């Protein structure tokens, strides 16, 4: 039963990890990825990222990605939390957790989930530069390649 | 049978900024039966729309919240969203 959330508020990675193992003893490992706001983009200092999404589509798209992971690996639980709105450097953007009986499935599924999320979930980032001005982030071919390797 | 399609069109990220609108309801001729045909029809609506669709190759689309292709068919009542390649995570 995956936990999928899109929210403006921060998430507590420790609390999410604890929630995943609460009341169960079959989990052998949890893969964890936390995406955070970097303070530079192509050499320019960032004041903030503004994250926009397509509310009617986002959670469904994330659920599809989780289902794809569940078909490829034997997972006991998954958590995907993605923040939207204005986020300053250092802030959390995204949390991906995948729990399995064994580490390989947990780690691979975590990498798969973040790779697919980056190319198949309707989020868009706009950079707000410290020196003024702003620009939409362009999609990267390396992200497409990372998603395609699965 | 109706000879027009009523569609809800949504724009996200820089397509919204260029089109100057986030959402609009349009009634298009029945001949506008695919995503690609809708793009051509919308691009003629205003200079902003023309700017949003100036390079159709970089525009992505969803029909009823599912990713769609230029050839995807449209039906009356559909929600059609246009946006740049996604950049989440």
The boundaries of the domain holding residue B53 are 4-83
Residues of B whose CB is below 8 A from A54:
10, 12, 62, 65, 81, 83
In this predicted model, what pLDDT tens digit does every residue of A2-17 receive, in sequence order?
999 999 999 999 999 9
| A67 touching B (Cβ < 8 Å) | no
- From chain B, pick out residues whose CB is under 8 angstroms from the CB of A57: 62, 65-66, 81
Whose CA is closest to A50, among A127, A120, A115?
A: A127
Selecting from A93, A117, A136 the residue whose C-beta is nearest the C-beta of B13 gives: A136
Measured between its terminal Cα atoms, the distance across chain A in Å is 23
Query: How is residue B71 annotated by DSSP?
Result: T
Provide the domain count of chain B. Answer: 1
Q: β-strand A85-87 against B4-11: which pairing, if any? A: unpaired
> What pLDDT score does A131 carry?
96
CB of A86 less than 8 A from some CB of B:
no
Helix (H) or strand (E) holding B1: none
Q: How confident is the model at residue A140 (pLDDT cuts 50, 70, 90)?
A: confident
pLDDT recorded at residue A144? 86
* Whole-number percent of chain B with pLDDT over 70: 98
User: What does the angle CA A48 – CA A126 – CA B67 come to, to the nearest 5 degrees?
Assistant: 140
CB pairs under 8 A between A and B: 71
State residue B1's pLDDT score.
54
DSSP, res B73: B
Beta carbons of B86 and A126 less than 8 Å apart: no
Share of chain A above pLDDT 90, in %: 91
Q: What is the pLDDT of residue A75?
A: 98
CA distance A24 to A29: 12
B35 falls within a domain: yes
SS3 B63: strand
A145 in B contact zone (CB under 8 Å): no
- Contacting residues of B for A7, CB less than 8 Å apart: none
Residue B66 lies in a domain: yes
Return the number of other C-beta atoms located less than 10 Å from residue B3's C-beta: 7
Cβ proximity of A79 and A117 under 8 Å: no
Q: Does residue B16 lie in a domain region? A: yes
pLDDT tens per residue across span A76-134: 999 999 999 999 999 999 999 999 999 999 999 999 999 999 999 999 999 999 999 99
Tell whether the model's pLDDT for residue B63 goes beyond 70: yes
Yes or no, beta carbons of A139 and B86 under 8 Å apart: yes
ipTM reported for the complex, 2 dp: 0.94
Q: Residue A128 in contact with residue A91, Cβ under 8 Å?
A: no
Mean pLDDT of A31-59: 96
Please say if the pLDDT value at position B27 is more than 90.
yes
Domain with residue B56: its CATH number is 3.10.20.30
- State the nearest Cα–Cα gap between A61 and chain B, in angstroms: 8
Average pLDDT in chain A: 96
Structural domains in chain A, CATH included, are 3-148 (3.90.1170.40)
Residue A1 pLDDT greater than 80, yes or no: no
**Per-residue pLDDT tens digits for B4-23:** 999 999 999 999 999 999 99
Does residue B89 lie within any of the structural domains?
no
Best residue of A121, A124, A134, A142 to probe chain B, by most B CBs closer than 10 Å: A124
CA B68 to chain CA centroid, nearest Å? 11
Residue A10 corresponds to which tokens in the numbers above?
């921060």
Interface probe for A, chosen from B15, B22, B59, B89 (most Cβ of A below 10 Å), is B89
Separation CA A78–CA A81 (nearest Å): 10
Instruction: Give me the pLDDT at residue B2, please.
Output: 62
**Interchain contact, B12 vs A51, CB within 8 Å:** no
> How far from each other are the two terminal CA atoms of chain B, in whole angstroms?
44
């Amino acid at each position: 039963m995956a936990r999928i959330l899109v929210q403006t508020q921060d998430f507590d990675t420790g609390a999410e990890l604890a929630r995943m193992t609460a009341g169960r003893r079959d989990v052998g490992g949890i893969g964890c990825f936390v995406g955070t706001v970097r303070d530079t983009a192509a050499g320019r200092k960032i004041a903030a990222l503004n994250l926009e999404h397509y509310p009617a589509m986002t959670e469904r798209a994330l659920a599809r990605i989780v289902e794809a992971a569940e078909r490829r690996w034997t997972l006991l639980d998954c958590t995907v939390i993605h923040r939207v709105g204005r986020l300053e450097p250092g802030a959390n953007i995204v949390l991906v957790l995948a729990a399995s009986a064994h580490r390989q499935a947990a780690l691979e599924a975590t990498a798969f989930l973040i790779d697919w999320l980056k190319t198949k979930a309707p989020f868009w980032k706009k950079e707000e530069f410290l020196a003024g001005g702003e620009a939409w982030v362009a999609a990267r071919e390396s992200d497409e390649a990372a998603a395609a390797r699965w | 049978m109706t000879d027009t399609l009523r569609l809800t069109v949504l724009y996200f990220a820089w397509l919204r900024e260029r089109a100057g609108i986030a959402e609009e309801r349009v009634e298009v001729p029945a001949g506008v039966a695919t995503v690609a045909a809708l793009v051509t029809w919308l691009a003629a609506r205003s200079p902003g729309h023309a700017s949003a669709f100036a390079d159709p190759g970089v525009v992505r689309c969803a029909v009823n919240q599912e990713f769609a292709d230029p050839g995807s068919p449209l039906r009356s009542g559909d929600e059609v969203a246009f946006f740049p390649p996604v950049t989440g995570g």
